[in-house]
A and B are shown apart, each in its own frame.
Chain A
Amino acid sequence: MLTQRGFVVVFAGVLLLTSGFSFANWYLTVIGVYLLVGLVVTLPLFALTANVAGLEVERRIDKAKVFSGDFLQVRVKITNKSRRNFDFIEVHDAYPETWILAIGENFLASRIEPGRSMTFSYILQARMRGRYILGPTNVIIRDRLGLHYYTRSLEAPTEILVYPTWKDVRRLEALGKQRQLGLMFGAHRTKVVGMGTEFAGFREYMVGDPFRLIDWKTSAKRGEMVVKQFEMEKNVQIICMVDSSGSMGNGYPENTKLEYAIRAAVLLTHMGLERKDLVGTCVFSDVVHAYVPPSALPNHMYDVLDALARAEPHGWSNFEAAIEYVTARTRKRTFFIWMTDLEESPAPLLNAMKTLVANGHKAMVISPFGPWFEAPVGQFGPVEKVLAEAVQEELWERRSKIARALSRFGISVVNVGPEDFLPTIIQQYTKIKQKGAALL
């Protein structure tokens, strides 16, 4: 292929040649011919040497799974497997558009001798959660004078899974450390009076109470029979139902409803694991994309992160299928936290909730309210403002209706915006713990 500068040579050659013909001048003809011949004379030789198939590209990364915002070193090694020199080779390694090139450069231009290799590396910052592919590596081989080139795109894809951001967890931990209240700040382990070893108090003796529980000293003091009560610390089981339907993808990039829901799920799982609660996660839309059952295993957090990292907003919300899938795999009483924008038809949602309650579970809905995640009303013109407010009112009314309907099953709906999504999840978790909902 001819480069731009090759075309300049062709232009100059043709100009001189035609001038030579027009003015019957041999000098102009000769120099024109020199240029044109000079352009193509070494082309077969270049084609022979520039065998792109002789190049091998190997890409190495230090981690295949990273958190959003983490840094990653990418090493690219180009080996010349052929027996010829590549006089000028340009290598461009592609990386996802949303990522940031933090240090170094993702391209290299040099020459490479037979059997030799060249290595370069650069550091990227993974910006958004998801599954990404590094590559392809584009190789451009040019001749010495830069008149011809060959290109090749070497796929060599490297898959990287970017977990949701960990910054919320870090912030929560930093907050806890600052207040020096430890991890248990704001959340109390649910206590159940009955079995256990910790003394809880006294109560009046009732027929059937074991004699060994009677506290004789206190009974003598009070003049009536009292028994000692003990309490036991119990944990709760929560399943976080993350709706990944298409409508959840609305909002500013990186700040969509789904992104917030995912961040909330990460935070909830982390808090649960810290407090020895069992927190599971289900990502669903029209099908169940991933389900991580509640667990306290050391790798549980990574399983949840893995499932959440792969979530993509598409399809519609099939609440019934999701609840059927999850309840079939959940034997113990569980508290379900739905994170959905409630923009689907209400009948399936109500049916799903019925099934859930019928199975003895409890639930609540944390619902990101669409208009709060989109452009602020202040940015609109007068007409758009009126329309936006009308739409908002309509949506709000629907939401109120569904909230009323759900309250019949004892399910509360909390409407959230981008600012209060995460605080709400912390607050709700604390409440669950205090109430002792869905004790194991």
Chain B
Amino acid sequence: MKVVTWVLRILSTITFAYMCYLVYNIMDVNGVWGWSAPYDFVVTVFRLLSFIFFLISTMIIYGFAFILLGPTPATNLVVWLYNTVVLRMWYMQPYGVSEPVTNINEMFANLNANLLNIIGILQDNTFLFLYFLCAGIGVALFLQTLVRMEHKYVGGAFISIQAILIIAAFRHLTLPNYETYPTNFITFLTGSLQILALVSFAYLEISYQMIYSYSVGKPVEDREETLKKQLLALRQATRKQDAIERGEKIRTTAMGRSTGATAFSFLREAIERKIVGSQEGLENLDAIADVRRLQIYIDELLTSDPNARDELTAKASAPSGSYIIGSTILGSAIRFILVVTVSFLLMSPQVLLAPFNLPPGILNSVELNQPEIVLLFLVPILLLFPFAALLISWFSKRDVEEETRISKEAEAERKRRKKEEERKKKEAERARRARKKRKKSEEEKDEWDRVLEEMYKQ
């Protein structure tokens, strides 16, 4: 299984790398990969923030200074503060200022005149930065996929890389596209955008197959590993306890303790209760006995039943590697062919509308050449698949209710017992009610005192 997973891991890496390469090439044509883009973006944002900070500070200082000193000294103070604090200590200047400030009003006027320009620069830099960000996230998630083998990372990596193209489309950059949607399948397949589309889809398919191959064999391997750890931890715990009982000194290693603790909840609980591995633990005979008895039980089980170990590890349930290879190749090929063919049909209304002999006004309309026309057949036909699945599952009687297999005699016995119990309860309740009635009619007095008095009277 490991070999199959590794092969698929390599294939997944290749397809991902190729997908990234294609996207890089597409975006490179538009000249977006200026490597200074992230730095420019950060600097732009920082300068903008500097400006906002400066603006707010100026307003506050102006306000206070005006109240305390009058209008002229306030301007001088702000200029002095700006030149000292911002220029010397921060080394960043707000937009519209390139030299030490002599006049605040001039600075604001300058900034006001260039505001739209500044926002434009910020927008450009933001988009450039977004391409890098998406690429970075995509690569990071892909690397996570290889290590953690989880679907969410595959999906994340795919969406991140495709997001670059979505953002580019939003910015009206040049992207692979059909001039008019092809009505010929071969033209459809050989279009410039098909390579990227197929590689992207292949990346998803191969990555999902890789995770399947990993997850179908992994539980059995994990199970075996866990069992080994559990048995080892159990034996260590028993030996340790024996040594304590004999009065020998034992060496407790952090490693040993953590292995035991993580091995299984049973021993973990004993360790948490400070039962195993301590002198005080000896006093808690039950917990010590539990660990020992488990050890004895396991020893007996493993010696008396030769299949016990295999059953505990579920070794026999491990799937064969050859089947996984065969079914992966066959399954992926079928899916690929089906997806491409069905997609082509769904996206080509002309092909599907041909038998209807529609008027040329409709067949040659602009609407039929727009991407939105895809929805005409896509939605109803896509919904047909789940509907077909629903019908199949309904016919195959998947949700057969499990009937509890109870014999007629047992059922009759159960009913009789229930009836008897109900009768007894009713009788008891009647007697109780009668007693209560009697009690109510008598004077209000503590029940216990009354009963005792009655008792002593006799």
Which residues of A come within 8 Å of B, CB atoms?
A: 5, 8-9, 12, 15-17, 19-31, 33-38, 40-44, 46-48, 51-53, 69-71, 73, 75, 85, 87-88, 100-105, 107-113, 118-123, 125, 136, 144-147, 150, 152-157, 167, 170-171, 174, 286-288, 315-316, 318, 320-321, 345-348, 350, 398, 401-402, 404-405, 408
Contact = CB atoms under 8 A, between A and B. Distances in A.
Contact of B447 (A26, A136, A346): A346
A105 B389 contact: no
Contacts of B121: none
Given A16-B166, A33-B378, 10 more contacts: A19-B170, A30-B197, A75-B311, A110-B219, A110-B319, A113-B323, A146-B212, A154-B402, A286-B428, A318-B432
Contacts of B204: 9, 35, 38
B385 A40 contact: yes
A112 B404 CA distance: 26
Given A25-B177, A398-B448, A40 B314 contact: no
Nearest 6 interchain pairs by C-beta: A118-B317, A47-B389, A23-B169, A120-B314, A40-B385, A287-B424
B370 interface: yes
A166 B297 CA distance: 16
B265 A30 contact: no
A112 B372 CA distance: 43
14 contacts: A19-B170, A23-B170, A24-B371, A27-B193, A27-B196, A40-B386, A101-B265, A110-B314, A110-B318, A144-B212, A146-B151, A170-B289, A316-B432, A321-B428
A104 B266 contact: no
B286 interface: yes
A26 B290 contact: no
A103 B298 contact: yes
A401 B448 CA distance: 7
A170 B292 CA distance: 14
Given A5-B152, A20-B371, A108 B451 contact: no
A43 B265 contact: no
B398 interface: yes
Contacts of B212: 87-88, 144-146
Interface string B421-458: 10011011101100100000000000111011001100
B116 interface: no
A25 B172 CA distance: 10
B314 A119 contact: yes
Instruction: Indicate the size class of the contact surface on chain B.
Output: 35 or more
B316 interface: yes
Interface of B: 151-152, 155, 158-159, 162, 165-166, 169-170, 172, 175-178, 181, 193-194, 196-197, 200-201, 204-205, 208-209, 211-212, 215-217, 219-220, 223, 226-227, 230-231, 234, 264-266, 269, 285-286, 289-290, 293-294, 297-298, 301, 308, 311-312, 314, 316-319, 323, 327-328, 331, 334-335, 338-340, 342-343, 346-347, 370-372, 374, 378, 382, 385-386, 388-390, 392-393, 396-400, 402, 404, 421, 424-425, 427-429, 431-432, 435, 447-449, 451-452, 455-456
Contacts of A288: 424
B339 A38 contact: yes
Given A5-B151, A9-B155, A16-B162, A120 B389 contact: no
Given A33-B378, A71-B294, A27 B311 contact: no
B342 A41 contact: yes
A311 to B, nearest CB: 14
Given A44-B392, A53-B396, A103-B231, A146 B385 contact: no
Contacts of A43: 385-386, 388-389
A280 B5 CA distance: 65
Contacts of A40: 382, 385-386
B8 to A, nearest CB: 12
B455 A42 contact: no
A316 B327 CA distance: 64
A153 to B, nearest CB: 8
Contacts of A404: 452
Contacts of B398: 51-53, 150, 152
Contacts of A33: 343, 346-347, 374, 378
B311 A120 contact: yes
A131 B317 CA distance: 32
B242 to A, nearest CB: 17
B371 A53 contact: no
A110 B447 contact: no
Contacts of B293: 69-71
B266 A121 contact: no
Contact of B158 (A12, A69, A88): A12
Contacts of B385: 40-41, 43-44
B342 to A, nearest CB: 5
A15 B161 CA distance: 13
Contacts of B294: 71, 102-103, 123, 125
B455 A408 contact: yes
Contacts of B335: 38, 41-42
Given A26-B371, A110-B220, A152-B398, A103 B266 contact: yes
A417 to B, nearest CB: 19
A364 B429 CA distance: 27
B266 A402 contact: no
Nearest to A88: B216
B425 to A, nearest CB: 6
Nearest to A101: B265
Nearest to A112: B317
A21 B371 contact: yes
Contacts of A17: 374
B311 A121 contact: yes
B435 A26 contact: no
A118 B194 CA distance: 44
Contacts of A152: 398-399
Contacts of A31: 162, 196-197, 200-201
B285 A144 contact: no
A93 B43 CA distance: 58
Contacts of A27: 165, 175-177, 193, 196-197
A38 B206 CA distance: 13
A265 to B, nearest CB: 19
Contact of A47 (B230, B371, B388): B388
A28 B314 contact: no
B162 A12 contact: yes
A320 B432 CA distance: 11
A40 B381 CA distance: 10
A94 B425 CA distance: 34
Nearest to A119: B311
Contacts of A24: 370-371
A38 B297 CA distance: 51
Nearest to B438: A347
A51 B181 contact: no
A36 B378 contact: yes
A366 to B, nearest CB: 20
A108 B316 contact: no
A290 to B, nearest CB: 12
Given A41-B385, A100-B265, A110-B317, A15 B201 contact: no
A217 B162 CA distance: 120
A155 B402 contact: yes
B166 A122 contact: no
A35 B335 CA distance: 11
A12 B155 contact: yes
A111 B193 contact: no
Contacts of B211: 146
B448 A402 contact: yes
A28 to B, nearest CB: 6
A29 B425 contact: no
Contact of B371 (A29, A170, A405): A29
B323 to A, nearest CB: 8
Contacts of B427: 321
Contact of A146 (B208, B301, B456): B208
